[in-house]
Structure formats: structure tokens, C-alpha cells
Structure 1
């Protein structure tokens, strides 16, 4: 099984990257590739730029990675209740590739974490509404509130047993769906 783990943040110390990396590690016998938004920096999207220069190669490269995956793990950082500017720009450019849906119906676990009590619920709600319009096949969602209290940074795993079990149940659900699809 090929898993593409995407952290929707360009922070070098992204807590969502830590979460998505941990979630990916829970899959057995999986080939995992983690996407760093910093590898997909592109000019700020604007229609005139697209007309003049076309879609940047980085957007095409990300689309290719999505198409090659069996499962997408997407952990979104929340900036003012929605996506980070870095993620939104990559999403916008990728949506401009002709004859494709951004997520291409690849089964997806959508996640978020934050230092506060809502755990990124605002960005999850926004993505749950928007992603299906762009080929998002959201199999489940997961939110980890109070990241600093619920994630063991030294061992790089969720320390809150209830939340850890919740994520593990999601991983099992996606693994079961993927094994059915492979038959």
C-alpha cells in the first residue's frame, strides 16, 4: 500500500507534520512518502499568471504523487479558522490542472491538530465541505486538541490513550477499505 502523507503547513516545526508522520507510521507494510509544502512553493495563484505561464510543474508533480497513492493522509494546520496560505496556494494551483480533480477520489484520512482545545476543527470543517467538490474521498476525520499536552514529542506519538485509540481505529478502517479495493 502506498501512502502519501501531506502536512498542510510550511513550518519547519509543524505539529501537523508530526501528527501525519505518526499516523502514517501506524500502517503496516506500507510505502510512505511525506510531502513537505516547502518543496511545492509556487508563485501566488492568479488567473493572469496562469494564462501567461501555465500551471507550475510543482502542482503537476503533486498531482502525480496523489495519483500514485492508495491512501492520502492530510493533516491541515489552521490559520484563522481555515487553511494555511502555503497549503491554499498549492491547492489552488493543483485545482487548475485540466481534466482532473485535485484529490482524484483517493481514500483520505483528514486530520488536524492545534495547541488549543478545538484541535483545528475550523479547518477540518472547511476541508470537509470543500474537498469532496475536488475529488476528495474523505473516509474519516481526526482532530487532536491541546497538541502540547496530548503528543509526546520525544517519542513522536500521541500520549492521550483515548485519542491514540481513536486514530488507530481510523487507520484500521482505512486499511480494511484499501484491502477490499486491492482485491
Structure 2
């Protein structure tokens, strides 16, 4: 069986972030199925606020280049996006903007991996509005984003002490999203 590498991250660095918990739960689910899954925190890749003048004067930040290469090295990426004012976080948007500026030297960070998205929120909508914007941005960057996604409402009660989802419905959505991400990544890798 081929080895598939999947990357999981969250658009939040907040302490006890529900979305980092969701990204961790996805990484755990993928690992349980034998997939090589890696969970990263954007806190480990700080970036300045995107400014084209700074890019011209100082060049690309090292962390933008590192993240671009990291995405391109994986067959699939899961992004958990919090919802801020009915959209994605400034942190996530800024990160995607910087990565999009890195010239591709082989595998493209948006065209190579397959993307899946999810959100966890204390509200009842579960961050659904952020996912529409995130999907739109990723597609504009040339990414393939699977239709299956996961949205966790009332996130304060959604995870147990081990980081697993407490609700059967939410766990089923996570399993479906993980399965479709792996299937799509496998199919596209076999065509390459």
C-alpha cells in the first residue's frame, strides 16, 4: 500500500482552541486508519501582516516558504477554520495570502494536495459561514476541495478529555470527511 501524507492545521492559535482540537481529532482519526497524519500549529510559523511593499523590500518570510513546502509535500490537507464575523480568521487568511506568494518549484502547495475543511464553534451553526469563504479562497488558489466538510456546533461540549468527539453524529461527519479526503488523495495520486 502506498504511503499517504496528510497535514492537519487550524486557523487559530488560541489556547484551548476548538478548531485546533478538531484538527487534532482529524489527525488522530487519520492515524487510526494507518495514514501518516501530521498536526501542526500556525503558532510555530509566525508571519507578518501581508504587505506587498514589505515583500518587495524584504523578500518572502522564511515561514511562508516553509509552509508552502510543507503543504506541497503532503497528499491532503485538513484545515479547521474558526468563524470570525461570518468569515475565516485574519490569521488563516494572512497565512494563505503569504503561501500564495511563494513561487512553486515543483509541487504546488495548492494544486498538489487535496483539501478538506471543517469548523468548530460555540454557536449552533458550527462555523459554517467561515467554511464558504475558506472554500472560495482555496478554489481561487487552484485547490481541489472535497465537498464533504465538518461543522461542529456547541463546540464547548463537543470534545471529551481525550480530544474525541462526544456526539455520534459529529463523529460520523468526521469519519466521512476523513474517508473522502483519503479516497480523493489516493485517486489523484494514482493518476499522477
C-alpha distance in structure 1 between counterparts of 2:109 and 2:35, whole Å: 23
Equivalent residues, number: 182
Q: 1:158 aligns with which of 162, 165, 189?
A: 165
Deviation by residue 1:25-48 (Cα, 9 ceiling, x = unmatched): 112112222121111212211111
Question: Is the 2:77–2:113 Cα contact (8 Å) retained in structure 1?
Answer: yes
Matched, 1:23 2:29: no
Residue aligning to 2:183: 176
- Please give the root-mean-square deviation of Cα atoms over the aligned residues, in Å: 1.7
C-alpha distance in structure 1 between counterparts of 2:144 and 2:57, whole Å: 32
Question: Is the 2:81–2:118 Cα contact (8 Å) retained in structure 1?
Answer: yes
Question: Is the 1:119–1:144 Cα contact (8 Å) retained in structure 2?
Answer: yes
TM-score normalised by length of structure 2: 0.87
Residue aligning to 1:116: 123
Show structure 2 runs of 5+ residues with no match. Answer: none
Deviation of 1:76 after TM superposition, in Å, equals: 0.7
Question: Is the 2:13–2:20 Cα contact (8 Å) retained in structure 1?
Answer: no
Deviation by residue 1:96-141 (Cα, 9 ceiling, x = unmatched): 1235865224111101110110111111011122210112211121
C-alpha distance in structure 2 between counterparts of 1:178 and 1:83, whole Å: 25
Task: State the SS of the aligned residue for 1:143.
Answer: strand
Residue aligning to 2:111: 104
Matched, 1:46 2:54: no
Residue aligning to 2:10: 7
Q: 1:145 aligns with which of 134, 142, 153?
A: 153
Question: Is the 2:75–2:189 Cα contact (8 Å) retained in structure 1?
Answer: no
C-alpha distance in structure 1 between counterparts of 2:70 and 2:58, whole Å: 22
TM-score normalised by length of structure 1: 0.91
Question: Is the 1:105–1:135 Cα contact (8 Å) retained in structure 2?
Answer: no
Matched, 1:92 2:97: yes
Instruction: Give the structure with the larger strand fraction.
Output: 1
Matched, 1:73 2:78: yes
Residue aligning to 1:132: 139
C-alpha distance in structure 2 between counterparts of 1:87 and 1:175, whole Å: 23
Show structure 1 runs of 5+ residues with no match. Answer: none
Distance 1:182 1:133, change over 3 A: closer
